[in-house]
């Protein structure tokens, strides 16, 4: 591959990182402080870009230059936002989730695949006390908010911004087709968190503890109905096989998920890798995304498909989870 082709490949990759409604030429012209005509000539490879221009673009779009020069490297460049209560608090984390969903929605025929260790955040949000519990747990235990260190959980999320962002996330998630690979541990982790706070007397009262468990049961009912319909629909609304985005669920009892998220639409791909609690690293690296997609496809082939079909497996899975929740409620 000659220098001209390498440069064109570089700009093609940069373009893949922008949402479809953004003018790529306008962005490059603005980034490099040049005219649109000069930007066009660089994108087409008619005018070589300087090292300084390449450095600027690599830094902004968070890409590695070595892949375009065929240097021997197994490196994959990830973007990282480190969640903590000081520089990247919980509201910023929710805004991060919302902004990515907005980008996914703009893709051509988008699909998101979740390989789960914990239930995706979207499934908690329709249930006020349950979602408030998860938010409280994440802020107090994972993010170490100092003001929550000795505070009891009262069942409410007082932050108006958090509530509004949560609603937007829930509404947008319902519009995007998704595939989820589940395991019993995907729900057990929340039961363990509830029991942990129960033992520490963090709940303000038994009624609140029962309410959280009851809403976890309702979340299981909602998930089962969506799996049966093969469609997403809002909590409390009639089930409709014609409304809502397509929803597929697989059950794999042999492999424990790791909260990997893969999204694709048209020629665009992105992979999110979970680490250290709420943190996610993301990459558009084609080889890594292709590898992730291939691996997820392999896992799905070895899993039970319970959306629309697989009634027996679907019933057994959700009945088993409800039985566990019932036993916990009975012990309160």
- What share of the chain has pLDDT > 70, as a percent? 94
How large is the average pLDDT for residues 112-126? Answer: 93
Cβ burial 118-146 (10 Å sphere, 16+ → b, else e): bbbbbbbbbbbbbbbbbbbbbbbbbbebe
Report the pLDDT value the prediction gives residue 106, as an integer from 0 to 100. Answer: 86
Beta-carbon count within 10 A of 248 CB? 18
Mean predicted lDDT score pLDDT of the chain: 89
> What band does 1 get if pLDDT is binned at 50, 70 and 90?
low
Report the pLDDT value the prediction gives residue 242, as an integer from 0 to 100. Answer: 55
Does the reported pTM lie above 0.95? no
Report the pLDDT value the prediction gives residue 288, as an integer from 0 to 100. Answer: 92
163-202 pLDDT tens trace: 999 999 999 999 999 999 999 999 999 999 999 999 999 9
**What is the tally of helices (H) and strands (E) in the chain?**
11, 8
Please, where in the chain does CATH 1.10.260 lie?
A: 3-68
Question: Is pLDDT at 247 greater than 90 in this prediction?
Answer: yes
Cite the DSSP H helix spans in 63-159: 90-106, 128-137
> What band does 103 get if pLDDT is binned at 50, 70 and 90?
confident
**CATH code assigned to 3-68:** 1.10.260
Place of tokens 């979602």: 131
Alpha-carbon span 171 to 235, nearest angstrom: 11
What sign for the dihedral angle of Cα 104, 108, 109, 111?
negative
Largest CA distance in the chain: 73
Report the pLDDT value the prediction gives residue 66, as an integer from 0 to 100. Answer: 64
Question: Is pLDDT at 63 greater than 80 in this prediction?
Answer: no
CA atoms lying within 13 Å on the CB side of residue 104: 25
Question: Is pLDDT at 241 greater than 60 in this prediction?
Answer: no
How large is the average pLDDT for residues 226-236? Answer: 89
Report the pLDDT value the prediction gives residue 192, as an integer from 0 to 100. Answer: 96
The answer to whether the beta carbons of residues 251 and 182 sit under 8 Å apart is yes
**Closest by Cα among 13, 54, 10, 47 to 31:** 54
Q: What is the dihedral of CA 288, 292, 298, 299, to 10 degrees?
A: 150
């Amino acid at each position: 591959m000659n220098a001209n082709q390498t440069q064109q490949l570089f700009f093609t990759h940069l373009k893949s990182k922008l949402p479809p409604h953004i003018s790529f030429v306008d962005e490059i012209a603005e980034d490099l402080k040049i005219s649109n005509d000069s930007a066009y000539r660089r994108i087409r490879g008619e005018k070589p870009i300087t090292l300084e221009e390449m450095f600027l673009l690599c830094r902004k779009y968070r890409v590695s230059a070595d892949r375009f020069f065929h240097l021997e490297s197994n490196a994959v460049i990830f973007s990282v936002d480190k969640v903590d209560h000081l520089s990247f608090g919980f509201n910023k984390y929710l805004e991060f989730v919302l902004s990515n969903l907005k980008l996914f929605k703009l893709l051509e025929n988008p699909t998101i695949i979740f390989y789960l260790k914990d239930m995706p955040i979207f499934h908690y949000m329709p249930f006020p006390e349950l979602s408030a519990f998860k938010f409280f747990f994440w802020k107090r235990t994972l993010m170490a908010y100092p003001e929550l260190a000795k505070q009891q959980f009262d069942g409410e999320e007082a932050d108006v911004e958090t509530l509004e962002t949560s609603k937007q996330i829930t509404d947008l998630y319902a519009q995007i087709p998704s595939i989820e690979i589940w395991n019993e541990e995907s729900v057990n982790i929340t039961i363990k968190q509830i029991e942990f706070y129960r033992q520490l007397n963090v709940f303000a009262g038994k009624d609140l503890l029962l309410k959280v468990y009851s809403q976890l049961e309702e979340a299981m009912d909602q998930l089962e109905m969506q799996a049966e319909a093969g469609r997403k629909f809002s909590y409390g609304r009639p089930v409709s096989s014609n409304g809502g985005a397509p929803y597929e669920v697989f059950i794999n009892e042999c492999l424990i998920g790791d909260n990997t998220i893969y999204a694709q639409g048209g020629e665009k791909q992105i992979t999110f890798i979970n680490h250290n609690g709420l943190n996610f690293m993301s990459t558009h690296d084609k080889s890594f995304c292709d590898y992730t997609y291939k691996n997820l496809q392999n896992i799905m082939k070895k899993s039970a498909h319970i959306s629309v079909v697989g009634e027996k497996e679907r019933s057994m899975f959700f009945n088993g989870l409800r039985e566990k929740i019932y036993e916990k409620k009975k012990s309160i």
